[in-house]
Chains A and B, each alone.
Chain A
Amino acid sequence: MIKNVRPILLAMLFLAVGVILQAQNGITFNKYKTNSEVQKALTELQLKSPSRTTMHKIAESPGGEPIYVLEIGKELKNVPAIFVGANFEGKTPLSTEGALYLAKMLLDSANYTRKVKWMILALPNPDATVGYSSTVQWERSVNDASVNDDKDDQLNEDGPDDLNGDGWITKVRAEDPEGTYIISGKDSRIMVKADPAKGERGKYKLYPEGLDNDGDGEINEDGPGGINVGINFPHLFKTNAKETGLWPGESPEAYGTMNFIFSHPEIAMVYTLGTSDYCLAPPRGGRKGGTNMESLKVPARFASRIGADPDKTYTMTEVVEMFKAAMPSRGGREMNAETVSDFLGLGAAVNPLEDDLKFYTDFSDKYKSYLKAKGGSTDRIAGDPDKDGSFELWAYYHLGVPSFSMNLFTPPKPAADQKPREAGAREAGAREAGAREMGARESASRSSEADDTEKNILAYIDNKLKGTGFVKWQPYTHPTLGKVEIGGIAPFVTSTPPATQIDSLCKIQLPWLLQLSKKLPDIQLMKEVVTDLGAGVYRLEMYVENKGILPYPTAMGAKNKQPAPVVVVLEGENLEILEGYKRTPMGDIGGNQVKKLTWTIKTDKKLIKAHIESPLFDATIKQIKIGG
């Protein structure tokens, strides 16, 4: 279905083939790598530092491609790990380059691997990358799973077709009495929805570039492949939606990723390189649903048992107390917020918790200043927001760790002096002025955001790409649609800048992720106070500090109880603990906070020992002097 046509204009994207950026580790960033080149780069990184790195094969894609995680800092024990996942949708090759670049930075300098290890998943959706690497480019995000998208008698029978042979799958516009699109007055290259309220009537229908290969009246409705790995994770997973898979983790790529992460409880933070950007702006909230823990209703069947009023609302703490009073547990399951949530059937969190938004907001402010200082731009077109079922959502909501995503590139918004070159723009300006004259100020200012975005993309194409990236609408005779025009913004233009920019984009932005690694929680035994109560009995007060900026766990982690507990362990010869226990889970601790634990002990020895037990934190044994 994809005609093998030489991409004439493609070469324009690789203007700088000659610029070889020879890096210390032998990996170069002068072109976007193919699957096998990514694997080769990972192997090279691994072989250059065999004592510090190891490769984990975590899955194999339906297309038969191996999927690797490169672990950096394998020699470190009892330190937190940061997991970096890139390009889950398989159509942002820059993010894969970013992951490799980050790996290279980590191996070139020891600054960020002293007390933290890294796990780098550069390419979790290799099957989809054919959309970029093949001679005809289209934005493909699905793996090779067999999915019959249109539920007919054939599989993958109606994918995109490069009708005009330019190497890109763009758009087809066809005049149609039922069409809803018109050519924008602001820029004749842009198609906009007609607004009947403004006296406009649709003239065109828009289709993706392709044929109705299977004669069912639809165009490109069943292309190659099946599941978009980037929306196959469990949080807010969409059932029966396009490209999501039947269930979360149906794709071996997502399943393998989750399996790997859950077998490494030391993972304390997750970075995602892709389209959303939690570094620039905190994860969005405002979704409907979720439960307000401050205002709970107790269903009648429980209310009568615990003495609650089914018509009143209670806080979670109140409900837990009522359950505790009514259902005393001797041994058995304890009544706490978790068990009560279970009883009441409270659902999942759908919005970021307020306490977590504090650090997200703080860091995003700092990131903006950081970018400014580095000469990076914050005034750019927004990337796609986090998608339901995405990896970054899952990391925050299900793992309960800080989840930061970064979009390494979207086109900049044009500076005031750089307007799109097309003459249409001037006409549009004139028409807008006319509209104002007619007193229709409101409707004129209500120009759609999508329209503006496209305008900005065109300005970028005009000013930075010298026009390459927009295919001029050209007539074409389509076998089923008749006389049409093919054109539009080329695939990958908005996500994938010329390869010459990989190095500078990474160099400016990625160090922020290194800096963020310094914010990780760092829990240590700080100091102790021993009070002699007489008769060999002592009170031991232990101060435990979190020297990091980030809390442990996040508020979400405290809610989902997924992060590994931190336990303070007391040991000693002839040590009898009169009050408290040998192993004390220390619960949640905020960033830069200190928590005091207290025991009453009895011993005839002069020394006892204490240490922290956790897969993330230093387990050094602390000797504690008792008595004189």
Chain B
Amino acid sequence: MKIFFTWLAICLLTFAVVAENKAKIEVPLRFDRYYTYDDVVEALKLLHSTYPLMTKLDIVGKSEEGREIYALTINNSKTGEALSKPGVYVDGNIHGNEIQAGEVCLYFANLLLTKYGENEKITKVVDKNVYYIIPVVNVDGRYHFFADAQTSSSDRSIRIPKDDDRDGLLDEDAPDDLDGDGNICMMRIKDPLGDYKSDPEDSRLMIPLKPGEKGEWTTLGSEGIDNDNDGKINEDGEGYFDGNRNWGYDWQPPYVQNGAGNFPLVALGVKAIANYIHQRPNIIVNFAFHNSGGMWLRAPSIKEERLDQRDVAIYDLIGKNAIKMTPGYVYQPSYDLYDTFGDTDSHMFNLEGSYTFVGELFMRSQETYRDNINKPLTPASDADASTSRRGGNPEENRELIKFNDNLGLNELYKPWKSYKHPTYGDIEIGGWVKMSSRLPHPFMLPELAHRNAMVVLYAAEQTPEISMEIFEVKEIGKNLHQVRVRLKNAKGLPSMSFKSMSSKLYTQDMLKVTGVKVVSSGRITDLRMNKVSYQEHKPEIIYMSVPSYGFSEFQFLVEGKGDVTVSYSSRKAGSLLKTVKL
């Protein structure tokens, strides 16, 4: 605790300095530094006040620590009400440490608003859809990632404490910032029986021993002490509660999956966002940004679950394009990484009927220091390969540290420094810092944000564009007409996913005839052969959908005279109306 207060004092001091130096937030937004939670809120408010007619700023809900979760809606009301258009939803940072996800969301919002009316592609895509953007889901996590000492991977959790070590105390033994530098780094101790030695090429690095070599170091895990005197260090930190295991679809309890939370949607922010999305049934495509590894993940989340091949084809359309826009990233079903239950992508795809991608932003291999990036690094020797899980490929580590030295302004790595540890005695603390490893250095941030935001834009261009044509009106008897209607989709996303249809998730698109009596109706299965599959009941409404880059044709036999109105209405693909005189 004492350490914490010393650290807090230092932090507040540095914060004051940083605050003065920090660039003012202006529109267009700049992406050469990371936004704190407060900065994100300020940026959203500024975007809203700069574009009051195009945007709406909502507070979706509040977090466990009372922070507000904001959603920015971008909609051109001149081209229609929000709910009447396909919805494109983007969020990020459900894991508190995965902060660049927030920047990608802000970048996307900034791009749409500042280029609207200036760039034709943007103008078109803004006019056809509505955008819902929640840059920070885990608002407490983002706040604490900046404010507290962390590793690059800690602070994922939702702020609901959990007794990880089952000793009756909650979150009582988290890592500690022993040297007060605002980072949780690594601890090591000199040890001739250790598994590591210093890298002869760069003494800051350690490499695993080869058989027969003498040891120099034993690693001791993250910076910390045994706060609760139970003989274990750092065994009960924040949470652990993973917001992205707490969604409703196929949720499993914590003993099956660590971090699941006690029951579905128990995290306030997750529940608020689930409700927010549920109230916007027009959402047809979702993106949830995370870090890291360079991946585009899609449903299903568990191996046993099968996806309709027709839905896979839709996912492929976006996913296979996405990996070209973000070179090095892979596109795969989420279970290929590992099985997960209660995650965003399966919830949104299965329960909201929205094609959903998880974008795992950033690959560390992009931190290059090489004359020819196409030339691979010296491959690890066999011996290295066998121990690679312990220390990584030494060549890679050397490149990463030279990247830090030559391009990263020495901001990514802390050289080892001695420290007197209450339990271990003389140790050293050092290694990769909080803002390293999973985050691109700020100089690389704009490109990362742009490339990934453009994937969202590509998906937004693919939202259905349905047109309706009454292509035949024929008198086939006294007072009896045959009216034939064709619905065409000019884009890649169908008006309804196949999964939503097979699971009867919600009311399908409706094609409705009014103004005359409908005697019978049905789908035209073969126009040339004049084949119609008639429906038995309620001929005035046909429940249907319009496929990707395709069409559907229908026939109504109607009795009467005058105006016949054919209306098409879809939850996710808008609505259309046509009238024809008999």
Residues of A within 8 A of B (CB): 148, 151-153, 214-217, 234, 237, 239-240, 246-250, 255, 258-259, 262, 305, 330-334, 338-339, 341-342, 345-348, 397-398, 559-562, 564-567, 581-583, 585, 613-614
Which residues of B sit under 8 angstroms from A398, Cβ to Cβ? 253, 263
Q: Which listed residue, A153, A214, A234, A348, touches B507 by the CB 8 Å rule? A: A153
User: B243 → chain A, closest Cβ, in Å?
Assistant: 15
- Alpha-carbon separation in the docked complex, A561 to B338 (Å): 23
Q: Which listed residue, B232, B249, B253, touches A348 by the CB 8 Å rule? A: B253
Contact B251 A234 (CB under 8 A): yes
Q: Which listed residue, B234, B249, B256, touches A247 by the CB 8 Å rule? A: B249
Chain B 482-525 interface residues, beta-carbon cutoff 8 Å to A:
503-508, 510, 512
User: A618 → chain B, closest Cβ, in Å?
Assistant: 15
Q: Which listed residue, A217, A234, A333, A565, touches B167 by the CB 8 Å rule? A: A565
Contact A332 B168 (CB under 8 A): no
Contact A234 B264 (CB under 8 A): yes
Q: Which residue of A lies closest to B257 (CB)?
A: A342
- Alpha-carbon separation in the docked complex, A341 to B258 (Å): 9
Contact A217-B234, Cβ < 8 Å, known A152-B543, A581-B229, A614-B168: no
Contact A330-B219, Cβ < 8 Å, known A216-B538, A240-B505, A614-B168: yes
Contact A255 B255 (CB under 8 A): no
Contact A305-B389, Cβ < 8 Å, known A248-B248, A255-B265, A567-B167: yes
- Alpha-carbon separation in the docked complex, A411 to B169 (Å): 50
Which residues of B sit under 8 angstroms from A330, Cβ to Cβ? 218-221, 233
User: B387 → chain A, closest Cβ, in Å?
Assistant: 12
Which residues of A sit under 8 angstroms from B258, Cβ to Cβ? 338-339, 342
- Alpha-carbon separation in the docked complex, A208 to B266 (Å): 39
Which residues of A sit under 8 angstroms from B504, Cβ to Cβ? 151, 240
Which residues of B sit under 8 angstroms from A583, Cβ to Cβ? 167-169, 228-230
- Alpha-carbon separation in the docked complex, A237 to B541 (Å): 34
- Alpha-carbon separation in the docked complex, A259 to B510 (Å): 39
Q: Does B393 contact A (CB under 8 A)?
A: no
Chain B 194-220 interface residues, beta-carbon cutoff 8 Å to A:
218-220
Q: Which residue of B lies closest to A214 (CB)?
A: B538
User: B303 → chain A, closest Cβ, in Å?
Assistant: 9
- Alpha-carbon separation in the docked complex, A258 to B169 (Å): 22
Q: A216-B538, A348-B256 are in contact. List 5 more A-B contacts (CB 8 A).
A: A247-B264, A346-B256, A348-B252, A565-B167, A585-B166
- Alpha-carbon separation in the docked complex, A250 to B271 (Å): 10
Which residues of A sit under 8 angstroms from B376, Cβ to Cβ? none
Contact A239 B508 (CB under 8 A): no
22 A–B pairs (Cβ distance < 8 Å), ordered by A: A148-B507, A151-B504, A151-B507, A215-B537, A240-B503, A240-B504, A247-B351, A249-B248, A249-B265, A258-B262, A332-B235, A333-B235, A334-B165, A338-B258, A341-B255, A342-B258, A348-B255, A398-B253, A560-B255, A561-B255, A565-B166, A583-B228
Which residues of A sit under 8 angstroms from B541, Cβ to Cβ? 152-153
- Alpha-carbon separation in the docked complex, A561 to B264 (Å): 18
User: B196 → chain A, closest Cβ, in Å?
Assistant: 13
Which residues of B sit under 8 angstroms from A215, Cβ to Cβ? 537-538
Which residues of B sit under 8 angstroms from A341, Cβ to Cβ? 255-256
Contact A347-B256, Cβ < 8 Å, known A217-B536, A248-B264, A331-B221: yes
User: A247 → chain B, closest Cβ, in Å?
Assistant: 2
- Alpha-carbon separation in the docked complex, A214 to B538 (Å): 8
- Alpha-carbon separation in the docked complex, A215 to B540 (Å): 11
Q: CB-defined interface of B230-245 with A at 8 Å, one 1/0 digit per residue?
A: 1111110000000000
Q: Which residue of A lies closest to B164 (CB)?
A: A333
User: B491 → chain A, closest Cβ, in Å?
Assistant: 25
User: B457 → chain A, closest Cβ, in Å?
Assistant: 30
Chain B interface residue bracket vs A: 35 or more
- Alpha-carbon separation in the docked complex, A613 to B167 (Å): 10
Q: Which residue of A lies closest to B304 (CB)?
A: A347
Q: Which listed residue, A331, A565, A566, touches B233 by the CB 8 Å rule? A: A331
- Alpha-carbon separation in the docked complex, A577 to B379 (Å): 51
Chain B 157-197 interface residues, beta-carbon cutoff 8 Å to A:
163-169
Q: Which listed residue, A240, A247, A585, touches B251 by the CB 8 Å rule? A: A247
Which residues of A sit under 8 angstroms from B250, Cβ to Cβ? 239
Q: Does B339 contact A (CB under 8 A)?
A: yes
Q: Which residue of B lies closest to A614 (CB)?
A: B168
Contact B235 A331 (CB under 8 A): yes
Q: Does B96 contact A (CB under 8 A)?
A: no
Q: Which residue of A lies closest to B225 (CB)?
A: A331
Q: Which residue of B lies closest to A577 (CB)?
A: B229
Q: Does B222 contact A (CB under 8 A)?
A: yes
Which residues of B sit under 8 angstroms from A262, Cβ to Cβ? 262-263, 266
- Alpha-carbon separation in the docked complex, A581 to B169 (Å): 14
Q: Which residue of A lies closest to B263 (CB)?
A: A258
Which residues of B sit under 8 angstroms from A234, Cβ to Cβ? 251, 253, 263-264
User: A173 → chain B, closest Cβ, in Å?
Assistant: 22
User: A45 → chain B, closest Cβ, in Å?
Assistant: 29
Contact A217-B537, Cβ < 8 Å, known A248-B248, A583-B168: yes
- Alpha-carbon separation in the docked complex, A339 to B247 (Å): 21
Q: Which residue of B lies closest to A263 (CB)?
A: B262
Contact B235 A334 (CB under 8 A): yes
Q: Which residue of B lies closest to A328 (CB)?
A: B195
Which residues of A sit under 8 angstroms from B166, Cβ to Cβ? 561, 565, 585
Which residues of A sit under 8 angstroms from B218, Cβ to Cβ? 330
- Alpha-carbon separation in the docked complex, A208 to B265 (Å): 36
Q: Which listed residue, B165, B264, B347, touches A249 by the CB 8 Å rule? A: B264
- Alpha-carbon separation in the docked complex, A562 to B263 (Å): 12
Q: Does B150 contact A (CB under 8 A)?
A: no
Which residues of A sit under 8 angstroms from B247, Cβ to Cβ? 247
Q: Does B129 contact A (CB under 8 A)?
A: no
Contact A151 B253 (CB under 8 A): no
- Alpha-carbon separation in the docked complex, A397 to B537 (Å): 45
Q: Does B224 contact A (CB under 8 A)?
A: yes
- Alpha-carbon separation in the docked complex, A582 to B266 (Å): 33
Which residues of B sit under 8 angstroms from A614, Cβ to Cβ? 168
Q: Which residue of A lies closest to B423 (CB)?
A: A331
User: B424 → chain A, closest Cβ, in Å?
Assistant: 10
Q: Which listed residue, B219, B235, B249, touches A239 by the CB 8 Å rule? A: B249
Which residues of B sit under 8 angstroms from A258, Cβ to Cβ? 262-263, 266
What 4 A-B pairs are tightest by C-beta distance, nearest first? A247-B248, A331-B233, A331-B221, A560-B255
- Alpha-carbon separation in the docked complex, A334 to B166 (Å): 12
Which residues of A sit under 8 angstroms from B351, Cβ to Cβ? 246-247
Chain B 530-558 interface residues, beta-carbon cutoff 8 Å to A:
536-538, 541, 543
Contact B253 A560 (CB under 8 A): yes
Q: Does B350 contact A (CB under 8 A)?
A: yes
Q: Which listed residue, B168, B232, B505, touches A331 by the CB 8 Å rule? A: B232
- Alpha-carbon separation in the docked complex, A581 to B229 (Å): 7
User: A560 → chain B, closest Cβ, in Å?
Assistant: 4
Which residues of A sit under 8 angstroms from B339, Cβ to Cβ? 345
Q: Which residue of B lies closest to A245 (CB)?
A: B248
User: B172 → chain A, closest Cβ, in Å?
Assistant: 10
User: B541 → chain A, closest Cβ, in Å?
Assistant: 6
Contact A259 B221 (CB under 8 A): no
Contact A581 B230 (CB under 8 A): yes
Which residues of B sit under 8 angstroms from A397, Cβ to Cβ? 253
- Alpha-carbon separation in the docked complex, A564 to B262 (Å): 13
Q: Which residue of A lies closest to B234 (CB)?
A: A331
Q: CB-defined interface of B259-281 with A at 8 Å, one 1/0 digit per residue?
A: 00011111000000000000000
Which residues of B sit under 8 angstroms from A148, Cβ to Cβ? 506-507
Which residues of B sit under 8 angstroms from A216, Cβ to Cβ? 537-538
- Alpha-carbon separation in the docked complex, A203 to B123 (Å): 65
Contact B222 A331 (CB under 8 A): yes
Which residues of B sit under 8 angstroms from A566, Cβ to Cβ? 168
Q: Which listed residue, B167, B231, B249, B538, touches A585 by the CB 8 Å rule? A: B167
Contact A582 B265 (CB under 8 A): no
User: B347 → chain A, closest Cβ, in Å?
Assistant: 8
